[in-house]
């Protein structure tokens, strides 16, 4: 497949116009490799382990959610030099779909809702609210990560889910107004927890966003490379 | 005691000059009540529960770490109106010591080091590094909160501790350069965890900062009002 | 009456969309008291005298032109603490209509035109121009304040009137282009007077804006609380 | 005299370093005429009347307090074209001393204190406080302008005086802290009058600043050209 | 002719709306002279030589491409004082048409295309591309200036031309995409030349923009005053 | 040699503190390759030709004046991807010394002065002024580029020289004040030429800055890779 055709396909799937302003210049073709390729790999983050595995698999294209070049660069040194040397030497392309894939139909949040078997879903400005029949332990099992539960979660029927770092006071208020009993996202802050009108379930950023990439890979016949952060709880 | 004398005492303890720029106008006497008082209460946050308990205890002064008026106000409505009505009607003063107390000798980070029995401590630009003989389960017990452990914590001798939201890449790099084997703070972000050169222990913001206020209250003979966030982990 | 119903009524009268950008967050319900009330008072400014009188009259709602919280607050101390304690303890609501009422039909400028018996009025971008048959001494009497007259006012037929601080060079030029012979407003600056193409009559801010609030109170059956600044001229 | 020598003399009198930042580029030699001249005129503002009279008197230099070019120009049209044509065609120089003369020893505020026979003066950050034995009517007579008196002026001993537009809340608070009973300046605003801790006497900008220029002209043997704004009070 | 009628005519020719934002306040009537005039002169720049010659010819209006007041003025001294004195004393008007004339039909770039006998032209976002049959030596002769040629110009058929300082990477890329073989403009920078995908011909700013003013003058029967910079090449 | 030792040496030669603010993050080690190397090459710009030649020569370090990463990058595509792939794959380091080398003793401007045999030199804020006995044709020959001469250069004794893009009005004025008769630099703009108080000699950016790099390479025993822009004049 050639890069241009692939790009058109990806932009239909996750239109660049859907992205937040802060993603300007940080989505789409972020590293340009060979113009033709046969193998596509997919991952959440382009970590060294992911990149090395993709190269081992002869991937000509690596599709990721988080860009390897978030902070604008005027020097290529240290771990960035190592990573860029691996990618460029292998002539592997890197394609990024970030907030445009969060907002896309069949994107990050839809995959999350499917994984948690949500029904009767209604959209939020980001994420969605649906009926959830799962106990927290089952949510933890399906997501593959431990949870931190803020507040009293004894009677949750309608659950708001937002992939990534979604504990925003405005978004929580919107979810409550639309009937949510609890709010699932990642990266809780003390001040937000203190004033939250809903109990909150905190998973990891990885656990909430990976399902979208896993499902995309499965549907396209790509190889998904898992690289979950090592995380445990005490006690 | 009169407010003016109390203010001088507090400013010796946690000099306003130590505060970060973003605390300008947000520390010191934040709500002015009666000019004379006898009872002082202390807490981490001026939540409704804390304020009501302080009033019940006839406190004329409430000393807190987090201001009740973070976002500059042009209207006093909703929960802010309720809170301000309680405080003002009771003529209770509210005194805030925030980043000036984080940086102060005998402040938030020193109390945390004591609670965790750190030895041979050396200072960071914020927080400190010390030898820690405690297992994570004991750290959790002393802090009174569950922990999330990022990475491999099997051989930690020197532990960096930073009260509050301290998982900053620059600070972690500094800790590593000074010999830390692990980094304890709160409010981890995915991108920071991904690139952290040290394994990290994530407690709660409350658990890390409350000890400084508890110790202050004990030393001064004030009443500390505990209001820990309700938090549990699954599984 | 409940606050929500009252708010709808007030927003019909002085739509928030009419307000200048600098009024963002500074109009509407500025202090929230009891959700139900029976007595409404009205004034130009929420001075301590006005607030105390409103409380004495058991007002549940005080409607004013100038907000008590112009500068965004991160601390409530001094005279602000005293004022807010009075208002909040009494559970009195405060509603502000500022530039939205200046621009509103039947608002500040229309009331001023009526008080001065202007005829054949045409609108300015703020304020209006009309035929005025009154001598300056009669204008002074009706406004209830002494006047300062800049330039030669011997042959004024068409008078521009702008409530508040309206001596803006662009507005004066617009008034002249629309046929005004003189310009009535408050808070003249030397540089504006120097280059003004029209003679100007300077009243007080209070005298020009109070009539709008007085008329509003009269029409609604509210009690208007007068608190005119003490002002005299020498000689 | 040549312009360069004159400039040195003026910069000793009113050092440019004393000026406020907003005067950058707006003081000193503002219009350059002939390099040599014999006659100097002086005025507060370079109005058309002042400029024409200075030209009639064959002035080669006109010293003023307010610049003719406050707003930066990218076009010379209308009244500015007329004024600049007069000045440039006559090869008259224009020298401006503004806030540097306000702050200078023997400058605007010192001249004002002398005119009002103030004794035991102490400096403010701008202006000064002194003992004043004059009744308001005598102050009005000496200044040559009507006064507006805000608040109760029955027992004033120590008077703060600030030439120009000096009714600043911070300056008034400073004056009160230094013992002032009243505050004399120009261009009062409603919000400042409302919250002023001192009664205020409002003269005109011209009346307060002209004495400094008049005295300067007298000491140097220059001709002062008076051009007082036409102002009267009603009633 | 009166200035108002002339202005309408000029604004039809080069509508102000076409100008770049940085020309705000810097085009149209920039110096106002006598309201009626008979003689019009035209030039590229209002240099002292141009202004003096226009005055010698009794011009009441001088039409130029570059404003004499680019940097906003708060003082009129040095060469600006001399120039403004000449213009204002002579009561000569100055009219500026800058980027609005670059973009106008029959403007700077159209005149340039005509001078170089370009055919089959297509527009760029600024300037145009056309078939050019002239050797560089003939281009130099027609423009009346020496050329610097960057890169290999041996086989140019389609030439992009942009009056003024037009060596912009985006514009060059656009020209190449539209089939240009070379790019003619002025004021080349090293970094642009280094990465240019087209060979470039560098003339002078004057040589490229003067033809538009010359042609305008010829069509209107005005006198064009030439004032070419003195330029030679070595070797 | 190891990179760290080399960096210390280079920072002594051209201290980073000398650089302009706009060079922040754009000087020093800009691409990190192998930590040890034996061969150093040097050039003005890291063009593709330069980079390929350096790799052919097995250079482990390439020292250049202009960074390959001027615009901060969030994507590595097109010619940047090609260049970075070459550099990174070869594990070649790239070291940049820009304005810090312009200002350094024995830097760009000193080398230029030596090449032109200037005597009795005095420093400018950037560049210098010296006595020049060379005719323009000899200057052209030594610099290896054609010159454009603006104005009358018939009697130049004292010549100001500024490497790079140095035709700044303030710098030209400074040179004139220090006795210069002419000013040599690159990248002249029309507006600067128009108002220049000195005749100007315009060389190329490359010709003026390369001598500093050539001399540095010669002194250190590095290989200088020449890549002069292709430039000719007509006629």
Nearest to C235 among D79, D137, D195 (CB): D137
Question: Cis before residue B107, ω within 30 degrees of 0?
Answer: no
pLDDT band at D155; cut points 50, 70, 90: confident
Radius of gyration of the CA atoms of chain F, in A: 18
pLDDT, tens digit, for every residue of F55-97?
A: 999 999 999 999 999 999 999 999 999 999 999 999 999 999 9
- The reported pTM is 0.92
User: Which whole number is the average pLDDT over A111-122?
Assistant: 97
Angle at F194 between CA F189 and CA F197, to 5 degrees: 110
Q: Do chains C and E touch (3 or more CB pairs under 8 A)?
A: no
**Can you name the residues that pair with B63 across neighbouring β-strands?**
B42, B95
pLDDT, tens digit, for every residue of A60-109?
A: 999 999 999 999 999 999 999 999 999 999 999 999 999 999 999 999 99
Give me the pLDDT at residue B155, please.
87
Length of chain F: 235
Distance from CA of C82 to the nearest CA of B (A): 8
Q: Does C191 sit within 8 Å of D70, measured CB to CB?
A: yes
Q: Is the pLDDT of residue B71 over 90?
A: yes
Nearest CA in chain F to E231: F150
Q: Is the pLDDT of residue D20 over 90?
A: yes
User: Which whole number is the average pLDDT over F117-139?
Assistant: 97
Question: Cis before residue D180, ω within 30 degrees of 0?
Answer: no
Q: Does D66 sit within 8 Å of C234, measured CB to CB?
A: no
Give me the pLDDT at residue E155, please.
87
Q: Is the pLDDT of residue B112 over 90?
A: yes
Element at E233 (helix H, strand E): strand E231-234
- In angstroms, how far is CA D42 from the centroid of its own chain? 12
User: Which whole number is the average pLDDT over C63-87?
Assistant: 97
Q: What is the mean pLDDT of chain C?
A: 97
Token pair listed for B54: 């302080």
Chain C: residues touching D (Cβ < 8 Å):
45, 47, 66, 70, 79, 136-137, 139-140, 146-152, 165, 186-191, 193-195, 204-206, 229-235
pLDDT, tens digit, for every residue of D68-122?
A: 999 999 999 999 999 999 999 999 999 999 999 999 999 999 999 999 999 999 9
Nearest to C75 among B69, B75, B76 (CB): B69
- Helices B78-89 & C78-89, crossing angle to 10 degrees? 100
Buried b (16+ CB within 10 A) or exposed e, A40-53: bbbbbbbbeebbeb
Token pair listed for D81: 């074209």
Give me the pLDDT at residue C209, please.
98
What is the C-alpha to C-alpha distance for residues E135 and C62, in angstroms, rounded to an integer?
A: 84
What is the C-alpha to C-alpha distance for residues B217 and B219, in angstroms, rounded to an integer?
A: 5
pLDDT, tens digit, for every residue of E130-145?
A: 999 999 999 999 999 9
Nearest to F72 among A30, A31, A74 (CB): A74
Distance from CA of F198 to the nearest CA of E (A): 12
Of residues F169, F178, F171, F177, the one with CA closest to residue F120: F178
Residue whose structure tokens are 């959790």: B140
Give me the pLDDT at residue A66, please.
98
Alpha-carbon dihedral angle through residues F153, F157, F163, F169, given to the nearest 10 degrees: -70
**Can you name the residues that pair with A157 across neighbouring β-strands?**
none
Q: Show residues of chain F in contact with A81, CB under 8 Å.
A: 31-33, 88
Element at E89 (helix H, strand E): helix E78-89
Q: Chains that contact C by 3+ CB pairs under 8 Å?
A: B, D
Q: Is the reported ipTM for this assembly greater than 0.90?
A: yes
Q: Is the pLDDT of residue B97 over 90?
A: yes
3-state secondary structure chain D: CEHHHHHHHHHHHCCHHHCCHHHCCCCEEEECCCCECCCEEEECCCCHHHHHHHHHCCCCEEEECCCCCCCCECCECHHHHHHHHHHHHCCCEEEECCHHHHHCCCCHHHHHHHHCCCEEEEECCCCEEEECCCCHHHHHHHHCCCEEEECCCCCCCEEEECCCCCCCHHHHHHHHHCCCCEEEEECCCHHHHHHCCCCEEEECHHHHHHHHHHHHHHHHCCEECCCCCCEEEEC
Q: Does A75 sit within 8 Å of F29, measured CB to CB?
A: yes
Nearest to E85 among D69, D78, D89 (CB): D89
User: Which whole number is the average pLDDT over F124-136?
Assistant: 96
Percent of chain F with pLDDT over 90: 98
Of residues F97, F98, F110, the one with CA closest to residue F162: F110
Of residues A161, A152, A146, the one with CA closest to residue A197: A152
Decide: helix, strand or coil at residue C221: coil
Q: Is the pLDDT of residue C19 over 90?
A: yes
Q: Show residues of chain D in contact with E76, CB under 8 Å.
A: 30-32, 69, 84, 88
Give me the pLDDT at residue F132, please.
97
Distance from CA of D170 to the nearest CA of E (A): 30
Of residues D111, D116, D142, D123, the one with CA closest to residue D13: D111
Q: What is the mean pLDDT of chain E?
A: 97
Give me the pLDDT at residue F155, please.
87
Are E164 and E209 contacting, i.e. CB atoms less than 8 angstroms apart? yes
Q: Is the pLDDT of residue C155 over 90?
A: no
3-state secondary structure D81-133: HHHHHHHHHCCCEEEECCHHHHHCCCCHHHHHHHHCCCEEEEECCCCEEEECC
Distance from CA of F33 to the nearest CA of A (A): 8
How many other CB atoms sit within 10 Å of the CB of residue F219?
10
- In angstroms, how far is CA F61 from the centroid of its own chain? 18
Nearest to D75 among E30, E33, E85 (CB): E30
Tell me whether strands C40-43 and C61-64 are parallel, antiparallel or unpaired: parallel
Are E130 and E64 contacting, i.e. CB atoms less than 8 angstroms apart? no
Are A64 and A214 contacting, i.e. CB atoms less than 8 angstroms apart? no
Q: Show residues of chain C in contact with D47, CB under 8 Å.
A: 194
pLDDT band at B122; cut points 50, 70, 90: very high
Q: What is the mean pLDDT of chain D?
A: 97
Of residues D143, D177, D148, D144, the one with CA closest to residue D160: D177
Largest pairwise CA distance in chain B: 54
The ranges of chain E with pLDDT < 70 are none
């Amino acid at each position: 497949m050639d890069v241009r055709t692939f790009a058109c396909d990806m932009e239909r799937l996750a239109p660049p116009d859907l992205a937040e302003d802060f993603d300007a210049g940080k989505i789409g073709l972020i590293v340009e490799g060979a113009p033709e390729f046969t193998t596509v790999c997919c991952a959440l983050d382009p970590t060294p382990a992911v990149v090395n595995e993709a190269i081992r698999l002869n991937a000509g294209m690596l599709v990721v959610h988080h860009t390897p070049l978030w902070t604008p660069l005027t020097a290529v040194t240290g771990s960035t030099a190592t990573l860029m040397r691996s990618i460029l030497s292998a002539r592997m392309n890197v394609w990024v779909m970030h907030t445009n894939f969060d907002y896309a139909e069949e994107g990050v949040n839809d995959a999350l809702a499917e994984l948690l078997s949500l029904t009767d879903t209604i959209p939020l400005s980001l994420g969605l609210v649906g009926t959830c029949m799962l106990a927290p332990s089952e949510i933890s099992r399906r997501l593959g990560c431990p949870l931190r539960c803020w507040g009293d979660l004894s009677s949750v029927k309608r659950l708001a889910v937002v992939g990534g770092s979604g504990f925003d006071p405005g978004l929580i208020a919107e979810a409550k107004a639309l009937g949510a009993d609890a709010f699932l996202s990642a990266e809780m802050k003390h001040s937000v927890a203190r004033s939250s009108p809903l109990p909150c379930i905190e998973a990891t950023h990885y656990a909430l966003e990976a399902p979208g990439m896993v499902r995309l890979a499965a549907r396209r016949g790509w190889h998904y490379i898992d690289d979950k952060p090592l995380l445990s709880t005490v006690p």
